[in-house]
Amino acid sequence: MKKYFALKAVFTLIAGVALVSCGGGGNDYSSTSRGTGWDVTGKNGGFELNTKYKEQETGPGLVFVEGGTFTMGRVKDDPMHDWNNTPNQQHVQSFYIDETEVTNGMYLEMLDWIKGVFPPEDEEYRNIYNGAVPDTLVWRNRLGFNEEMTKNYLRHPAYQNYPVVGVTWIQAVEFSEWRTDRVNELILNQEGFTSKDALANQEAGSTFSTETYLNAPTLAYGGDDEKTRGGKRSESLEKRKTQKAAKQGDGGGEASGLYVTRKDGIILPGYRLPTEAEWEYAALAEVSQREYNAYRGRKKYPWDGQYTRSGKRQTRGDHMANFKQGDGDYGGIAGWSDDGADITAEVMTYEPNDFGVYDMAGNVSEWVADVYRPIVDDEFNDFNYYRGNQYTKNKIGADGMIAVVEADSIVYDTLSNGKTIARALPGEIQQVEVDENETYLRTNFDRSDNRDFRDGDRRSSKYFDNSDQLADNKRMYDSPLHTVESDSLGTLDRQYDQENTRTTLIDNEVRVIKGGSWRDRAYWLDPASRRFYPQDMAKDDLGFRCAMSRVGSKSKKNKRPRN
């Protein structure tokens, strides 16, 4: 009898396994299509999906932040009654954010790469390196002695783990793009898709770009196919496909599917600056305030409590951040009560918030992606709020191929402060504005540049008319219009706007900065605080951190109710 039940159990188990493997279990659709029933593993040379994909890997330096709803804007202690951060309810999708601010050491890694690939001694590439170097003169003060900071803060090893400063918003964006390419380039190399020497001996015309690889892989690395698919994994795959093609009698022609695509799930989404909503959500870290589907209270700082010193028994009295505590007081009295930093502090000096993110108050203020406007337009959108969308598309050349920036055709822009920067580096895809082919009869967007949508464009102006643009004297934000042009010899022609009727400094070139810095009073440590600064200027108390979008599931773990 026991033997009978044992055999029955084994038979039932085998039958169950067979049923699941055939797709009959109801939950396993990995090997066959739910739409057609056809095989989607690619084993028979047909359509292929990554059936073993689990979830997005966490990129270097990042921590996961599960999205949700929160109250964006100042909710406590607003003595200034500043109307630019009125509370509004927003929902943010899950994303990743840097555990710390970008450090001098991290930024120097990019400068070293640029110097090696685009040597500044070469006149053709000099502006690439010069355009990436932080402005170390931000430390100078006409009535202060800070020359040693000017010389040492960026490059001395004593400061390598301190947040980088003197970086413009534009430079922060360029660093994010560079970081994306280096991370994905390393992933492809470690996975065995690119050759061993692909990471070394790179030249100006043969650098790796993530978007170029995904959209036109034969143009990656300057068209060097030995690098692009010279790894052991690619060679093995090519050999198998060629042998299979030969057996099928088609002459063993060119093997296909040898490049990694988005559907393989190997390449990570791009590093970028966080949006204002993401930054504020990550800084608040209200997970400690949650009780089921409600918050028990409102937080004033990234940490719990109403004070800037720790109330925990083990660390009672310790500072939670470095900030200006009063006139001439940037750290307190030397000794135990001091916050340990008179300027910036080494990252991870203070405790992280409940998301595990460091220095979301104090140290340095941080650039975020958004264009500044006094009001967050939550009536139009309350999901992943962001102002600053400029939609572009890949440029297609006369030959019908994607147009890639060449080493001898770099386009430079001259900023309002006279600094010259490269619009795109060699190897990257040239971008153009979207046109009527993308916008015609759409209801969700109708133009390429949406920075002033509903707040500064002609539709939102009292002078609304049918013209494409408002005249200078009818702009809602009539900020100064300074111009800087460079002639063929590099001589700058600076035209300073001397109009005396200007009423604001707000325009589409100013970006939101968040978080208090070592120069700020405690008032600015509130994550809801917001200010603006020109995107092509820098300060000694302003840095940045990167973020990355989460693709796939909202959560990284199963949900269960709290007892």
131 pLDDT higher than 60: yes
> Could you give the C-alpha distances from 134 to 146, 175, 255, 289, 419, in angstroms and in order?
16, 11, 46, 39, 11
The partner residues of 549 in beta bridges, in order of sequence, read 95
Q: What is the pLDDT of residue 20?
A: 41
Q: Could you tell me the sign of the dihedral formed by the alpha carbons of 72, 75, 77, 81, in that order?
A: positive
Which of 32-36, 395-399, 443-447, 472-476 is the least confident region?
A: 472-476
pTM of the model: 0.91
Read off the pLDDT of residues 493-544 as tens digits, 9 standing for 90 and up: 888 899 898 999 999 999 999 999 999 999 999 999 999 999 999 999 999 9
Helix (H, G, I), strand (E, B) or coil at 513: strand
254 pLDDT higher than 50: no
3-state DSSP helix/strand/coil % of the chain, to nearest 5: 25, 15, 60
Q: What is the pLDDT of residue 295?
A: 80
The partner residues of 309 in beta bridges, in order of sequence, read 319
Percent of all residues in the chain with a pLDDT value above 70, rounded to a whole number: 89
Residue 358 carries which side chain, given as an amino acid letter?
A: Y
Residue 211 carries which side chain, given as an amino acid letter?
A: E
297 φ, ψ (degrees, to nearest 5):
-165, -170
Q: Which two tokens stand for residue 122?
A: 């070469």
Q: Which two tokens stand for residue 399?
A: 């030959």
Which of 64-73, 289-298, 368-377 is the least confident region?
A: 289-298
The gap between the terminal CA atoms of the chain, to the nearest Å, is 45
Cβ-based neighbour number of residue 137 at 10 Å: 11
Reported as a pLDDT band with limits 50, 70 and 90, residue 223 is very high
Q: What DSSP line would sit under 358-425, residue for residue? A: --SSSS-EEEEEEEP-SS--TTT--BS--S--B-EEE-B-TTSSBPB--TT---EEE-TTS-EEESS-
Q: What is the pLDDT of residue 563?
A: 41
Read off the pLDDT of residues 392-410 as tens digits, 9 standing for 90 and up: 999 998 888 999 999 888 9
Q: What is the pLDDT of residue 176?
A: 98
Residue of higher predicted confidence among 84 and 347: 347
Cβ-based neighbour number of residue 195 at 10 Å: 21
Q: What is the pLDDT of residue 15?
A: 44
420 pLDDT higher than 90: no
Residue of higher predicted confidence among 316 and 431: 431
25 pLDDT higher than 50: no
Q: What is the pLDDT of residue 465?
A: 66
The partner residues of 511 in beta bridges, in order of sequence, read 371, 533
Strands 365-371 and 510-514: antiparallel
Reported as a pLDDT band with limits 50, 70 and 90, residue 129 is very high
Read off the pLDDT of residues 50-68 as tens digits, 9 standing for 90 and up: 888 889 999 999 999 999 9
Cβ atoms of 551 and 103 within 8 Å: the answer is no
> Could you give the C-alpha distances from 350 to 221, 226, 280, 354, in angstroms and in order?
42, 47, 19, 13
235 pLDDT higher than 90: no
- How far is residue 166's CA from residue 159's CA, in Å, rounded to a whole number? 14
Q: Which helix (H) or strand (E) holds 530?
A: strand 530-534
Reported as a pLDDT band with limits 50, 70 and 90, residue 561 is low
